[in-house]
């Protein structure tokens, strides 16, 4: 603690700036136009000091927030010395601080008596930013130039004056300009709220004290992070996982490989050995790879550490340029979210060796992105964007969560009723699927499926999914989760489609996505029989799979466990299995990924 800062005053100030970031998030939620923001909640807010260092985060998406310092640094590199009261900056260029084109950053510097003291930071996933496919999120684009409008860091407002050229250029290059411009105004409104509330703080504490406490907030987080890392074991741990493919070179698995090096109060996350960048649009920016790395490590640190740039200072992330985790021009990256989510799981694989009692198994693979875009009978455009996930891997102390957002996303699912009221789409099915969670002493999360029926004449369907071939891994004897599936016309003449299709969708067509199940943790034969019984009663598991996976015999007429038969069956299964040691990781691999691993 800085010598001239009272601890109580500092605590009040720290909570106040985090409250500002949260109020910004609520402002976006209340004022936004598009479903991807007001329903999916795919946006984030933050608050930086006058030097552009992230000091506070709203309760929003870790994937965005870990990338904000890179975007903020791009603004500082480009405009330091030319930042004025009334300026507002805009950017989305993945090769100059951004993540992918739909994620547009808005930054507003905050001044007091002519001195820059802070920045309000927002980033929102916009429904469409142009490009070859509605929603600008297709997996099968092969270069950035096909993906939409690329905005270098620039001034949207210059000393309070709107740059009409930029707004016009955006309007003319997106399919749904009313939504996009409305969402940009929501970001501006959030920055305005931050400016008002920060002015009240400065009035209370004075400019000098405010600057000191912003700096202390960051340094306080760094001290706590380094102290927490010091408590963890030193060593080196590596883990390998595989993405099914990039949607273009189908059947060619893509390697993720991470090495953690922990020494004293510092962690190095090294992605050297990860696959070279690919033709499809799943290439990450380095900033998003950093976010995935920070998120996984942050999950094993104490909860009382404020989330800001101080945390990131103690964690060095390495990923060579030209890899799928750090793409270089002209790498396509619209679907880079898939790789980011899968990197979080890969991190869990390494962390599970370091901290076996704290880390969960692999989840459903991310979130699946589904975009449906076209025109109605009057040629009015529509774009539906849905990011859906929900099955966590099992934890060392409890089952995986069912129907809960991935920790890298913190998002929600669009309401069925709102979707059907606003879009020419019907949601026919939204339900849990039995027998798909990885078995274990603690089972993986139970996945769900959704059916989408098109009511317009035609549209373009693009899907970003994974875990079709390489199943979510289980840990310490837990079984892998069952793979995901995509189907057309599932109730008629079902046709299975690959994980990352971009295809025409016609009136009456039904698309079904079934999520992968979460991986299990621990030996399934050690699961409490009553827990197996409850899963059967809740239709998460069938009685047949209860026998096969858990050795539990259930009488479905009176909903009881046959204890004697269960004991006999479990003894038989242990002998048949012949394990002498419980493996750390139970992988589910396709033949192609096994071959690639060899």
255 bridge partner residues: 242
Using DSSP's 3-state secondary structure scheme, residue 321 falls into: coil
pLDDT at 596: 35
- The proportion of the chain whose per-residue pLDDT surpasses 70, expressed as a percent, equals 97
Among 188-192, 437-441, 589-593, where is mean pLDDT lowest? 589-593
Top pLDDT among 220 and 598 is at 220
Q: Residue 37 has which token pair?
A: 């923001």
Quote the CA–CA distance of 522 and 582 in Å, as a whole number. 8
Quote the CA–CA distance of 58 and 168 in Å, as a whole number. 30
Q: What is the mean pLDDT of residues 195-204?
A: 97
Quote the CA–CA distance of 426 and 492 in Å, as a whole number. 17
> C-alpha angle 315/240/362, rounded to 5°?
85
pLDDT at 264: 97
b/e code 377-400 from CB counts within 10 Å (16+ = b): eeeebbbbbbbbbbbbbbbbeebb
Q: What is the mean pLDDT of residues 147-170?
A: 97
Sign for the CA dihedral angle at 399, 288, 36, 303 comes to: positive
pLDDT tops 50 at residue 590: no
pTM of the predicted protein model: 0.94
pLDDT at 541: 98
Q: What is the mean pLDDT of residues 46-71?
A: 93
Q: What is the per-residue pLDDT across 11-24, written as a single tens digit (0 to 9) for each?
A: 999 999 999 999 99
Structural domain spans, the chain: 7-225, 360-523, 528-581
Residues ≥6 apart with Cβ < 8 Å to 14: 56, 213, 217, 220, 306
pLDDT tops 90 at residue 3: no
Q: What is the per-residue pLDDT across 313-356, written as a single tens digit (0 to 9) for each?
A: 999 999 999 999 999 999 999 999 999 999 999 999 999 999 99
Q: How confident is the model at residue 175 (pLDDT cuts 50, 70, 90)?
A: very high
Task: Measure CA of the first residue to CA of the last residue in the chain; give whole Å.
Answer: 52
> C-alpha angle 576/528/580, rounded to 5°?
30
pLDDT tops 80 at residue 450: yes
Q: 301: closest CA among 358, 365, 361, 367?
A: 358
């Amino acid at each position: 603690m800085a010598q001239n800062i009272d601890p109580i005053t500092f605590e009040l100030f720290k909570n106040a700036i985090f409250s500002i970031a949260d109020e910004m998030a609520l402002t976006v939620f209340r004022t936004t136009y598009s479903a991807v923001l007001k329903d999916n909640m795919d946006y984030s807010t933050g608050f930086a000091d006058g030097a552009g260092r992230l000091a506070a985060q709203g309760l929003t998406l870790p994937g965005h927030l870990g990338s904000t310092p890179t975007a903020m640094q791009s603004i500082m590199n480009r405009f330091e010395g030319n930042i004025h009261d009334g300026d507002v900056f805009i950017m989305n260029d993945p090769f100059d601080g951004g993540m992918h084109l739909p994620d547009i950053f808005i930054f507003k510097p905050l001044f007091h008596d002519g001195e820059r003291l802070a920045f309000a930071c927002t980033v929102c996933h916009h429904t469409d930013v142009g490009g070859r496919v509605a929603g600008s999120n297709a997996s099968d684009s092969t270069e950035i130039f096909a993906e939409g409008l690329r905005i270098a860091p620039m001034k949207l407002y210059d000393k309070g004056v709107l740059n009409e050229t930029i707004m016009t250029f955006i309007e003319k290059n997106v399919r749904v300009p009313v939504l996009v411009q409305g969402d940009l105004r929501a970001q501006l409104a959030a920055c305005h709220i931050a400016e008002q509330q920060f002015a009240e703080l400065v009035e209370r504490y004075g400019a000098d004290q405010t600057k000191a406490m912003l700096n202390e907030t960051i340094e306080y987080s760094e001290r706590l992070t380094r102290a927490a890392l010091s408590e963890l074991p030193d060593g080196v741990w590596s883990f390998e996982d595989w993405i099914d493919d990039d949607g273009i070179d189908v059947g060619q698995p893509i390697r993720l490989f991470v090495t953690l090096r922990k020494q004293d109060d510092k962690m190095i996350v090294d992605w050297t050995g990860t696959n070279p960048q690919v033709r499809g649009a799943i290439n990450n920016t380095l900033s998003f790879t950093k976010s995935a790395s920070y998120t996984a490590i942050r999950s094993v640190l104490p909860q009382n550490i404020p989330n800001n740039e101080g945390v990131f200072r103690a964690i060095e992330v390495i990923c060579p340029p030209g890899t799928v985790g750090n793409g270089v021009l002209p790498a396509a990256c619209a679907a880079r979210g898939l790789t980011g989510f899968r990197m979080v799981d890969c991190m869990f694989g390494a962390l599970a060796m370091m901290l076996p009692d704290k880390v969960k198994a692999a989840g459903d693979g991310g979130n699946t992105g589904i975009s449906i875009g076209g025109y109605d009978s009057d040629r009015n455009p529509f774009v539906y964007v849905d990011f859906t996930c929900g099955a966590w891997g099992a934890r060392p102390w409890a089952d995986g969560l069912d129907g809960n957002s991935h920790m890298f996303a913190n998002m929600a699912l669009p309401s069925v009723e709102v979707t059907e009221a606003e879009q020419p789409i019907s949601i026919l099915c939204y339900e849990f699927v039995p027998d798909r969670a990885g078995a274990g002493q603690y089972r993986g999360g139970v996945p769900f499926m959704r059916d989408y029926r098109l009511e317009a004449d035609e549209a373009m369907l693009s899907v970003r999914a994974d875990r079709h071939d390489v199943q979510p891994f289980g840990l310490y004897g837990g079984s892998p989760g069952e793979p995901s599936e995509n189907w057309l016309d599932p109730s008629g003449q079902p046709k299975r489609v690959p994980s990352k299709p971009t295809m025409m969708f016609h009136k009456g067509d039904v698309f079904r996505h079934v999520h992968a199940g979460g991986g299990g943790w621990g030996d399934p034969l050690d699961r409490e029989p009553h827990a197996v019984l409850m899963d059967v009663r809740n239709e998460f598991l069938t009685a047949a799979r209860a026998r096969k996976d858990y050795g539990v015999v259930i009488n479905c007429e009176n909903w009881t466990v046959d204890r004697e038969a269960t004991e006999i069956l479990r003894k038989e299964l242990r002998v048949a299995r012949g394990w002498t040691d419980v493996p750390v990781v139970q992988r589910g691999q396709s033949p192609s990924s096994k071959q690639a691993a060899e």
